[in-house]
Structure 1
Amino acid sequence: MESAPRPFGFWTATALVMGGMIGSGIFVLPAQLAPYGWTSIAAWIVGVGGALLIAWVLARLTAAMPEATGVVAICGAGLGPLPGVLVGWSYWVSVWSANAVIALTAIRYLAQFVPVLGATSLAQALSATVLLWLITLLNLGGARLAGAFQVTTTLLKLLPLAAIVLILAGVALSGGGAFHAEAHPPFAWSQLTPALTLAFFAIVGFEAASVAAERVRDPARNVVRATLFGLGLTGVLYIVVCSGIIFALPTAEVATAQAPFAVFVERFWGHQAGLATAAFAAIAAIGALNGWTLLQGEVPLGMARAGLLPRWVGRTSARDVPIPMLLLATGLASVLVLSNATRSLGGLLDFMLRLTAAASIWLYVGACLTALAKRIAPVAAVAGLGFAGWAMWGAGLEAAGASVVLMLTALPLYWLRFGGGGAGA
């Protein structure tokens, strides 16, 4: 065991929240949201508002049961073993599927400096697989090392966001001549749901501190503060940065940009600044990959320690690292990447983003139902359920159905733990 069983303080927990959110999504979303114009701003506001409702529910649950290993264990205690296993397993699926997407996105940015990494679809897949395993090796060193890396990369990934904010401030102070609001599509109710679905992809991850509560000192205090502060700050940055890029450039130019952040910075500060932005976007993706890799071991570990999975699932090293489940998750992510080596990257990213969101939403549903069962933050829980249902509908039938199928693969482990396999299986 490590000398400090709970190595994460407030700032590391906040870095885990922000690092999980600020990954690959925000650096490509201006291109995806540009066709929605003014509706995209509403989507961000609604998405962040809905996430804050759910975050408040997660925070209150953690504060009420700080001894729990995480929000998955809390769901198991509140709803029963089977719902707890299904919710936790679905979230675990969302974590390693997200890692596959994040690794591919990181390689896209790194390929701007080392072209051979992205020369072909196969090269991209192989490079992404190598990156997955490098970050896994880092996490095998223990939660303290992974947490320190997370703090560093979170600070670095804020730099391109800060650059965008500075440019936007300069444009505004100079009279706002670069903004052409009238040239962008007006708000449309019919477009809000698909725009919300896209925006929500970049918001998923705000629950990271609640999931890894076992690693956080004084979780009743620090998880609450880190979740709300990290989500609030990141949400404001998202709204300002993404909307600013969309409205400061022609819609067609943003919508077709492979790296909209780099395009925007290059327009105002030159080619070298654009390349620097691409470099920091790669750092952002790698930092997010580190945070999600940590969680892909912590989720099943917390479930095993809470008695929801067989004890062997929670076996750890001398550094308290759940090596078997960490390696299994990275292996599954690698299979996902390599099995799609010949598919269009755009098509893979679109489906996997929707699958990741759908699989994550089941955790939010479980948390809100647990809060209602325990009469904790009932108003926020009801509102959070409504928002989660809306987001699931927006993810589409294919992604929602796939999330259910993958969730049900946890049933054999449930039967081993609570069926004839015995509690000590």
Structure 2
Amino acid sequence: MATKSKKMGVVGLTILVAVNMMGSGIIMLPASLAETGSISILSWLVTIAGAMCIAYTFAKCGAFCKRSGGMSAYAAEAHGKSSFFIASYTYYVCLVISCVAIAVSAAGYLAPFLPWIKTSPIHTFLTVIAILVLTMVANFKGPKITERISSVTIWGIIIPVAGLAIIGWFWFDPALFAASWNPHDMSTGGAISSGISLTLWAFLGVESAGANSDAVENPERNVPLACLFGTGFAAIVYIASTSVIQGIIPNDQLVTSDAPFGLVFSMMFTPMVGKIVTALAVIACIGSLLGWQFTNAQVSKAAADDRLFPAIFSKISKDDAPIAGMLIMLALELLLACMTISPNLLKQFNTLLNLAVFINMVPYVLSMTGLQVMLRKNHVSKSQYYISSTVGTAAVIYSIYGVYACGVDAVFGGSIITLVGYIFYGFLAGRDTDLSMKKQLN
């Protein structure tokens, strides 16, 4: 166990949380949000409040839950073994969808260097497939290689996005921002809802914020604070960068861009600078994809180790890589890429984004509703119980609102995917019943 002097304080953990959250999910959002208009800043404000409630709730769950398994373990506290499986299953599916969405983002940013990519939907599809295959194969060498690559490449998106949030205001035109406020004359409530799933996408991963409590000084106080500060910092960068870009690029150009951050830096400086930023974004996408694919392989391996996924997911190579599980995941990613193929990269990205957000809200709601049980088990003070319960309930309500904002198609498809999971669980539950009966007979 780390000594107190070696443990992280609130500042160190805040930085870690913010960096972990600010991945490649942001790089296509300016173009997606341009469809709603600069009124989408209101969606950011609502999402910031919701994301901070979610971050606080997960921090509390991480501090009080005595079992391993993350969100799945939190869900099981209130809902039992079946919810442990469903939370693991839906999180796994969400990461599969997210990986394809990141690959689509990478293809969009790669197009300026290889125009062939956008000459036909088949070329776009083949590019997405190539990115998924190459990054998955790179993971075969195990966690050390993946960690080293991801820790460097993540800065390829953090630097341009954070840089734009700081220096972009020198090019910001308030009149251009105002002109793009509400291009489709939507109601205020409708405009906020149309941007909620998009802005929520940028905060997916906040559930991992409380995973480092063992390495933190005074975790009961510092983990929730770091989660709130880290989420708040990421939120400021997100809202600043996406707002400033809407005051630099005309809305009709932004809404059709497959590489919005590359485009804005081209307009601010030179096309060469734009190409450098675009190249950095491609590198960041590749690194992010490496990390998420390996993370999902580990999620399925952990579930298999607990006999909740088929045993093939737990087999590892000499490099500690669950290659069999990775190949199954790759097959699912390729199938999903086929099902969502579109002539428009941005349309394909938005379809995947809405589906991923809805699927991810299932384990969110299941796990955060477990906080009530954990608070009572740990006999917290009355004031702490009321504060945590109030914030946790707000987080769940916001997550349900996020489901509503995903739209009919995402909810319909996501509901079917979730229900299919119960078929798998039925077989697992039947197997466990046989095992328990055999033990009783012996």
Same fold flag (TM > 0.5): yes
Choose the corresponding residue for 1:402, options 413, 416, 420: 413
Q: Name the TM-score, length of structure 1 as normaliser.
A: 0.85
**2:54 is the alignment partner of 1:57:** no
Q: 1:335 to 1:147 in 2, by over 3 A?
A: same
Q: Name the TM-score, length of structure 2 as normaliser.
A: 0.82
Moved more, 294-303 or 217-226: 217-226
Deviation (angstroms), 1:64? 1.6
Q: How does 1:185-196 map to 2 (within 5 A)?
A: 185=181, 188-196=188-196
Deviations 1:363-411 (CA, angstroms, capped at 9, x unpaired): 1101211112323721221001110111100111221121121122323
Question: 1:82 aligns to what?
Answer: 82
Q: 1:228 to 1:182 in 2, by over 3 A?
A: closer
Answer yes or no: is the 8 Å Cα contact 1:90–1:403 preserved in 2: no
Choose the corresponding residue for 1:183, options 179, 189, 198: 179
Deviation (angstroms), 1:344? 4.5
Whole-angstrom CA distance in 2 between matches of 1:299 and 1:285: 21
Q: What amino acid sits opposite 2:179 in the alignment?
A: A
SS of 1:324 mapped into structure 2: helix
Question: 2:200 aligns to what?
Answer: 200
Question: 1:370 aligns to what?
Answer: 370
Q: How does 1:327-342 map to 2 (within 5 A)?
A: 327-341=327-341
Answer yes or no: is the 8 Å Cα contact 1:13–1:209 preserved in 2: no
Deviation (angstroms), 1:343? 5.3
Whole-angstrom CA distance in 2 between matches of 1:423 and 1:69: 23
Answer yes or no: is the 8 Å Cα contact 2:72–2:88 preserved in 1: yes
Whole-angstrom CA distance in 1 between matches of 2:408 and 2:110: 33
Answer yes or no: is the 8 Å Cα contact 1:50–1:387 preserved in 2: yes
Question: 1:4 aligns to what?
Answer: none
Answer yes or no: is the 8 Å Cα contact 1:266–1:272 preserved in 2: yes
Whole-angstrom CA distance in 1 between matches of 2:16 and 2:135: 17
Q: 1:182 to 1:333 in 2, by over 3 A?
A: closer
**2:424 is the alignment partner of 1:413:** yes
Greater Rg over alpha carbons, structure: 2
Q: What amino acid sits opposite 1:185 in the alignment?
A: W
Q: What amino acid sits opposite 1:22 in the alignment?
A: G
Question: 2:398 aligns to what?
Answer: 387
Q: 1:17 to 1:208 in 2, by over 3 A?
A: farther
Q: 1:139 to 1:72 in 2, by over 3 A?
A: farther
Whole-angstrom CA distance in 2 between matches of 1:308 and 1:154: 32
Question: 2:358 aligns to what?
Answer: 358
Q: Number of residue pairs matched?
A: 409
Whole-angstrom CA distance in 1 between matches of 2:316 and 2:53: 34
Answer yes or no: is the 8 Å Cα contact 1:12–1:151 preserved in 2: no
Contiguous gaps of at least 5 residues in structure 1: 1-8
Q: What amino acid sits opposite 1:354 in the alignment?
A: N
Contiguous gaps of at least 5 residues in structure 2: 1-7, 376-384
SS of 1:385 mapped into structure 2: helix
SS of 2:26 mapped into structure 1: coil
Question: 1:242 aligns to what?
Answer: 242
Answer yes or no: is the 8 Å Cα contact 2:21–2:234 preserved in 1: no
RMSD: 3.2
Whole-angstrom CA distance in 2 between matches of 1:136 and 1:14: 28
Question: 1:22 aligns to what?
Answer: 23
Deviation (angstroms), 1:223? 7.3
Whole-angstrom CA distance in 1 between matches of 2:288 and 2:170: 29
Deviation (angstroms), 1:228? 4.5
Answer yes or no: is the 8 Å Cα contact 1:95–1:356 preserved in 2: yes
SS of 1:159 mapped into structure 2: helix
Answer yes or no: is the 8 Å Cα contact 1:68–1:306 preserved in 2: no
Q: What amino acid sits opposite 2:257 in the alignment?
A: A
SS of 2:247 mapped into structure 1: helix
